[in-house]
Copies of this chain bind each other. A is one copy, B any other.
Amino acid sequence: MKELNIGIIGIGNMGGTHMRNIYDGKIPGARLAAVCDIDPEKCEKAAAALDGVAVFGDYKEMLTSGLADAVIIAVPHYLHPPIAKEAFQHGLHVLTEKPAGVSATEVASMNEAAENSGKVFGIMWNQRTNPLFQKAREFMKNGVLGTPKRLVWIITNWYRTQSYYNSGTWRATWSGEGGGVLLNQAPHNLDLWQWIFGMPDEISAICNEGKWHNIEVEDEAIITGYYSNGATATFITSTGEYPGTNRLEISGSKGKMVIEKGVLKLSLLDQDEREFCFTESEGFPRYQLNELEFHQTEPEAAHIGILKNFTNAVLYGEELIAPGYDGIREITISNAAYLSSWTGKKVSVKNFDSSLFDSLLKEKIDNSKPKVAECSNAEGQACRWQTNW
């Protein structure tokens, strides 16, 4: 059987989880060849716990060691593009944690490096493994809902306490993390939005910084996306509401789809609304609807699903569920939302001015205040990475 030698860069929260999953043999065909972290304590623990796995304190050494054919990048967001680019230059396959990076400029240059290398490039959009989101995408692609009209996603169940934000010095700072709920929690949903409903052409947004917590980045955002065909998308997210909501509604000319609490409900028309709107003689007509329900009966494959798929993509050419190249779509939506909020203007996504974004982000970084970590309590809650209904 073929085997893929994997190195993990960063074995904190997420990288540590991937490390255990691969080491424990949960990913057929994947072998944990090496791990790397700048924290000596983490390295010591890993060396003691892992048999036959090389441990590095410097990722550059790992990249040139020849031990790994592929790397998983699980370091703070800013570092994804530069490390990925180096890995590609060394001819390695790359699976990066989400988001792809902090700035679309950086992510574009990472994509270029990936393309030049010809290596397999994946991104950890683990919620794409959810069967309901997969079904939603299929319905949109196959025209089951007709022409897209509207998306409304209330995704306010990313609740975090102040202690979460206090658990790391880099967390929720412009310099360390590069953003708040849009960069850390909601990227999954921003990606699913574009994956299911397509990329908006323009965006306006309000991102409220430090509204519910003592942090300098946003803990709430309201985004409106505009499509050239007239469709709109409203996206509402927050880490300051309990209990929150996770409800995705999509309307099209042939009906409506709602995903909430692990159920996808379809309400379909026999005829396209765009037709009967102009032929129906009744002013307030009522139509029969075909109602269908799909239940999520099993937990989504999540990270393990993405790891298996990435491994199979390298070994057997399996199609990627989450190609790394897709990361630029999500980060452009997120960057555009910030830019709109910072400038008070509607901004183009299609011709996104990423250099303006970069210069305004730099101002934020320059004014970013150092922060003292209080404690580290964000470990060991693996279930939170499943779609939270």
Any B CB within 8 A of the CB of A386: no
| Contacting residue for A150 out of B156, B167, B384, CB 8 A | B156
- B240 and A149 within 8 A (CB): yes
- B161 and A277 within 8 A (CB): yes
With A222-B224, A224-B206, A236-B234 known as contacts, the answer to whether A160 contacts B241 (CB < 8 A) is no
CA distance in complex: A211, B212 (Å): 37
Which residues of chain B come closer than 8 Å to A258, judged between CB atoms? Answer: 245
1/0 per residue, CB under 8 A from B, across A188-227: the answer is 0000000000000000101010011100000010101000
| Contacting residue for A375 out of B212, B281, B289, CB 8 A | B281
Any B CB within 8 A of the CB of A370: no
Any B CB within 8 A of the CB of A315: no
Any B CB within 8 A of the CB of A283: yes
CA distance in complex: A377, B159 (Å): 50
Can you list 29 A-B contacts (CB < 8 A)? Answer: A152-B154, A159-B285, A160-B283, A160-B284, A161-B277, A161-B280, A161-B282, A161-B284, A161-B285, A162-B280, A163-B280, A163-B281, A163-B283, A164-B284, A204-B206, A206-B232, A208-B230, A212-B277, A213-B277, A234-B236, A241-B256, A241-B273, A243-B287, A244-B256, A245-B256, A281-B375, A281-B377, A283-B378, A284-B378
Apart from the given pairs A243-B267, A244-B251, 11 other A-B contacts in the complex at a CB distance below 8 Å: A150-B156, A161-B280, A163-B281, A164-B284, A206-B232, A213-B277, A220-B232, A234-B236, A245-B256, A281-B377, A284-B378
